[in-house]
Chains A and B, each alone.
Chain A
Amino acid sequence: MDLGLRGKKAIVTGATKGIGRAIIELLAAEGADIGFCARNEDEVAETVVALKQRGVNVVGSSVNVRDAEAYKTWLEATTAALGGCDIFVPNVSAGAGMDSEKNWWRSFEVDVLHTVRGCETLMEALKASGQGAVVIISSTNAIETFGGPMAYNAMKAGLINYAKNLSQFVGRHNVRVNTVCPGPIYFEGGAWEMIKGTNQKFYEATEKAMPNRRFGSPEEVARVVAFLASPAASLITGANVVADNGYTKGVRY
């Protein structure tokens, strides 16, 4: 099955490591041009070099998505550099934490506002695409309790609601909006690698909670995202796709 991604222009935030990195690797392998950002300049430079070997157009920048102006400027510049935008994957997250009320502000700014600002800034380009697709990265933390009353969980839940509403709002312009909820994903440099080292019991309990006793990988999430982002998923919009390797136990109808 050809996903129809060749020549598409994709913008992904937070893409030098983990799920974000796997998404741009796969999209590039499928022939899409890539614009991405991350915080660390060295890692951005390394990622640009690595992706260009796929023979596609790649632009990467160091951006803090909390900085609304800098973020918007980057989105516009990247759209211009790519010559448009067909796919947007807001992937950056502030991560978990219950340190203080600041976690709520931070998660709101990073997880929610960066997604909303990205969609609003890029919407004209996505409409112009004719096959525009937004894939928002949420989390199974949005659909089942996990780790306590954290801002992360609530904000990730907010994103699912936003995506559904946005899908109705922009559907007539042939822009599809979907959400993916990854379960526990293990990768080098990721949160679960640190948890494996710092809290082995919790790591093992989480591993056991998945029926086949293994963590998911960024590549497996990336395949779901790539499909939803592709014209091959033309009928799917407003959906929340749970890619959790059976981690969540609730029955959803």
Chain B
Amino acid sequence: MSTPPDDRHPDPEALAAASRTPVYKPVRRVPAEQSAVNRKEPDPGLGHALIPKERYTSAAFAQLEWERMWTKVWLLGGHLSDLREAGDYISTEIGRESVLLVKQQDGAVRAFYNVCRHRGNRLRPSGVSSAESFKCQYHHWEYHLDGSFKRIPDLDTFPQGAPECRGLRELRCEVWNGFAWFSLDPEAMPLLEYLGPVAEHLAPYHFHKMALKKDVTVEWDCNWKTSVDAFNESYHVQGIHPQLMWYLHDLDLQIDCYERHNRYLIPFGTLSPRVRTPNTIPEPIKVIMKGAGMDPADYDNPIASIRRDVQQFKRKHGASQGKDYSGLNDDQLTDDYHYTIFPNVQVNTHADDLMLFRQRPHPTNPDKMFYDVWVLELIPDGHEWPERPRHTDFKFGDKSIGLVLDQDAANLPGVQEGMHSAGIDGLWIGAQELRIRHFHKVLEDYLYGPAGSDARGSGGPPTAAA
């Protein structure tokens, strides 16, 4: 068998002419001298190598991820609005592990493996609930909220007595800005150190004053990184989300890569330079205006002024609406400050809401993942805290999770299939996708060590591909 000779001769000039990035005037941004959060990091030099496709499909690579990464990092457990009273708990899963995050009598949150010390039965199904104690349904071994043994039925029939451990195996657990985090690594660095600059950047957003409005888990037919990659670039807006071109600027992004995490800042409430200015305000931009308290029907300035006018309107009226924007700069009042908190948390941070994605690997199948969507909305001071929506769990296609995410979800299985194909050698990553390259670099550092860069450009993991 031989490859047929390639007699194609694409005209480089014609290709360039057909492919040019639209010319645009950059949006006005708050300069870093006025707001340090806007400071642009120098782009890291990460080369131009292909990203190996095998890491999206290889079970051995997934195992390496588990051993060297998932068990070493900090992982998001849940929102503190689910852990208000002593006994409130969140049961969440990562890989094959299940973890209980439990509100204590003293107000702290502690995390435990959700596994009975007797014969290993899972204590609680995944979800959010409240308990006075944790009693295993198998033989009724029972644990206090702090994980310590409360009752072991017929203990006198165990000649060896109770296990020497005092109860459930505990995990590192810390809270930050309205969220509870845990780590499977007893030696993990403190959470704040792990979050690095992201903790500081997100501090003024009042996540603890935001209420869950959506809590969904969808099983997707793709690797967890296929999903992370999709949300780490805006290059796909024109292809997958054409409607967003009348909502946001998909080219004028500020990309910043930090030690582990990265972000981009996307201007919202403005048009993509890929589309012509329409004669009426696009519906999605109207939603932004209405959210601020403006009436689009009473707006007479050009569409290009809306982003600025919304910022100024919010600045002027935020306090009277019970919303404290004092820690946010003007860009943060309209734009999407989108962070990837390594490895699997992505936050679309806005002044009045938060759209958070948590992407979890399937415990055994690299071609599947769990996609958690949490939408939170700022509850203005003096407003009643709304009832929590029920968590729903389903497979892709069974229900809608909103137009934009449905569009992403519909596309990703095809991308995953491509990772199995001989028709592609790896991912060809451009500058608009710098965050993808950075994310993979951080992953490689976990898997191979910072010095293990030999594996980086060479195609596959050194041992895992075997």
Contacts and interface: CB of A to CB of B under 8 A. Distances in A.
**A, B bound:** yes
Contact of A95 (B280, B298, B302): B280
Interface stretch (A2-10, A99-107, A129-137, A239-247): A99-107
A39 B305 CA distance: 14
Interface of B: 242-243, 245-246, 275-280, 282-284, 286, 290, 295-298, 300, 302
A199 B247 CA distance: 13
Contacts of B275: 193-194, 197
A133 to B, nearest CB: 25
A198 interface: yes
A95 B296 contact: no
A189 B300 contact: no
A193 B300 CA distance: 22
Interface of A: 17-18, 39-40, 64, 66, 95-97, 99-103, 105-106, 188-191, 193-194, 197-200
Contacts of B284: 198
A191 B276 CA distance: 11
A66 B276 contact: no
B297 A198 contact: no
B297 A188 contact: no
Most buried by A among B275, B284, B290: B275
Contacts of A190: 278-279
B407 to A, nearest CB: 11
A44 B277 CA distance: 15
Contact of A100 (B279, B283, B297): B297
A99 B278 contact: no
A199 B284 CA distance: 11
Nearest to A187: B276
A102 B246 contact: no
Nearest 9 interchain pairs by C-beta: A102-B297, A189-B276, A198-B243, A95-B280, A103-B297, A99-B297, A194-B278, A102-B298, A197-B242
A15 B243 CA distance: 27
Given A95-B279, A194-B246, A39 B295 contact: no
Given A18-B279, A197-B242, A99 B296 contact: yes
Given A64-B300, A100-B298, A191-B280, 10 more contacts: A95-B279, A97-B286, A99-B286, A100-B295, A102-B297, A189-B278, A190-B278, A191-B279, A193-B275, A197-B243
A184 to B, nearest CB: 15
Nearest to A192: B278
27 contacts: A17-B279, A64-B300, A95-B279, A95-B280, A96-B280, A97-B297, A99-B296, A100-B295, A102-B297, A102-B298, A105-B297, A188-B276, A189-B277, A189-B278, A190-B279, A191-B278, A191-B280, A193-B276, A193-B278, A194-B278, A197-B246, A198-B242, A198-B243, A198-B246, A198-B282, A198-B284, A199-B243
Given A100-B295, A100-B298, A102-B295, A197 B245 contact: yes
Contact of A106 (B245, B276, B298, B302): B298
A200 B242 CA distance: 9
Q: Output the residue of B246, B275, B278 with the most chain A CB within 10 A.
A: B278
A40 B305 CA distance: 13
A195 B298 CA distance: 22
A197 B240 CA distance: 11
Nearest to B276: A189
Contacts of A64: 300
A11 to B, nearest CB: 20
A67 to B, nearest CB: 10
A252 to B, nearest CB: 29
Nearest to A106: B297
A18 B280 CA distance: 13
Nearest to B245: A197
Q: Which of A40, A99, A106, A190 has the most CB of B within 10 A?
A: A99
A111 to B, nearest CB: 13
A199 B246 CA distance: 11
A105 B300 CA distance: 13
Contacts of A189: 276-279
B296 A97 contact: yes
Contacts of B297: 97, 99-103, 105-106
Nearest to A98: B297
A40 B275 CA distance: 17
A103 B286 CA distance: 13
Contacts of A17: 279
Given A99-B296, A99-B297, A102-B295, A194 B286 contact: no
Contacts of B302: 39-40
A96 B281 CA distance: 10
Contacts of A95: 279-280
